[in-house]
Structure 1
Amino acid sequence: MAIFVILADEFPAGFYDEELHGKRGSDGSTIPAAAVQITEDQHAELISNPGRRKLINGQIQPFEPVVMLTSVDIDAERDRRIAAGFTFGGNLYQAREQDLRNINGAATGAALALMQGAEPGDLRWQGGDSDFGWIAADNTIVPMDVVDMIGFGRAAMSHVGRLTMVGRSLKDRLADGETLDISDDALWGV
């Protein structure tokens, strides 16, 4: 039995099967005259890819719908890039939201310790019985004195600030009608 399709802007809008809808051209057939005959393989391809295949001159063509970006998409990409981390002193560090809170707290503590007389090079500035260190993304512990910890906090702040400002710029470009591929590292200065 033959299979037919009705097209709307080259997209399938309805399928007809002679077994169900009567032999085309015979009395009682409900297959529209405008329906185009297709193979079983074409039918399977069109059914399996709704909105992603067109039938053009009897040939199936892939179609990728244009996804309109919003500022929410840019925010999500910015947040993903922030969380991916930053490099400080040759080590990569995670920068998820909770990591940034912890870094900020430790940097503030280091600044206070420095004001209270902690000496650069002293790894026990936090008042504990062990040297202070931060866990890098590769799970190694990197020792940090007060000066290092303050610099680390500033590096985290710079990482977040830079990506936030790039995101703001990309939102402006999007609002101006520019088409952007926000997964492109070059847009983010990488």
Structure 2
Amino acid sequence: MRYYKDKDNLVYGFEDDIKVDTSIYTEISKEEALELVKPIPPTPPSEEELLANAKENKLKEIDAKRDEAIESGVTYKDKVFQSAEKDRNLLTSTVSLFSITKSLPEGFVWIAKDNTAVSMSLEDLIALGALMASSVNENTIKARNLKDAVLKATTLDEVKGIVWN
């Protein structure tokens, strides 16, 4: 095996019986070839890069915690009700529809997170919707305040100290 490099120091290996155009390639020793292809160790990230990465990860963590808190359910009538976006939308639609008639069908129930049927009046549905809206608002404001703190942080320790509790 013979080793060559081109004008850009890219290394090539050719079997001995291959004719090589020496106007394009320069023959080099195996040692030089190995030196040229030796990986360059990565440059460790700067303090600024570490801080920027920590902030980016912390912001994503806050978003996930916010979403988890909003979707963990709300308690009403001693029952936990699902509060994911689709659940809030369904409740809003139901309240809107039945607010027009100002009544619910006889025996109307809303299903709790544990799949039990809970009797509800129109006022109960409105109160449940208000609880969900309040949860969304509280958790969104909490996340915004934490994110503002992350953006203002100037050290890794400051970023690490920002937690959702």
The CA deviation string for residues 54-107 of structure 1, in whole angstroms up to 9 with x for no partner, is: xxxxxxxxxxx9972342321121111111111112211111221111111122
The CA deviation string for residues 160-179 of structure 1, in whole angstroms up to 9 with x for no partner, is: 11111111111111111143
Letter in 2 for 1:137: K
Task: Please say which structure displays the higher CA radius of gyration.
Answer: 2
RMSD of Structure 2 on Structure 1 (CA):
2.3
The CA deviation string for residues 92-150 of structure 1, in whole angstroms up to 9 with x for no partner, is: 11112211111111222233232xxx3xxxxxx1x4xx511111112111110111111
Matched, 1:79 2:67: yes
| Unaligned runs of at least 5 residues, structure 2 | 1-49
Is the strand fraction higher in 1 or 2? 1
TM-score (norm 2): 0.58
TM-score (norm 1): 0.51
Return structure 1 stretches of 4+ with deviation > 3 angstroms: none
Matched, 1:107 2:95: yes
Written as runs of structure 1 = structure 2, the 5 A alignment for 1:110-125 is 110-114=98-102, 118=103, 125=104
Shift in Å, 1:181: 4.8
User: Which of 128, 153, 157 is the matching residue for 1:152?
Assistant: 128
Contact 1:132 1:145 in 2 (8 A): yes
Contact 1:111 1:150 in 2 (8 A): no
Aligned residue pair count? 108
Written as runs of structure 1 = structure 2, the 5 A alignment for 1:123-142 is 125=104, 127=105, 131-142=107-118
| Unaligned runs of at least 5 residues, structure 1 | 1-64, 119-124, 186-190
Contact 2:110 2:118 in 1 (8 A): yes
Written as runs of structure 1 = structure 2, the 5 A alignment for 1:50-89 is 68=54, 69-89=57-77
SS in 2 for 1:139: coil
Counterpart residue number, 2:141: 165
Matched, 1:143 2:119: yes
SS in 1 for 2:110: strand
- Which has the higher relative contact order, 1 or 2, with Cα contacts under 8 A spaced 6 or more apart? 2
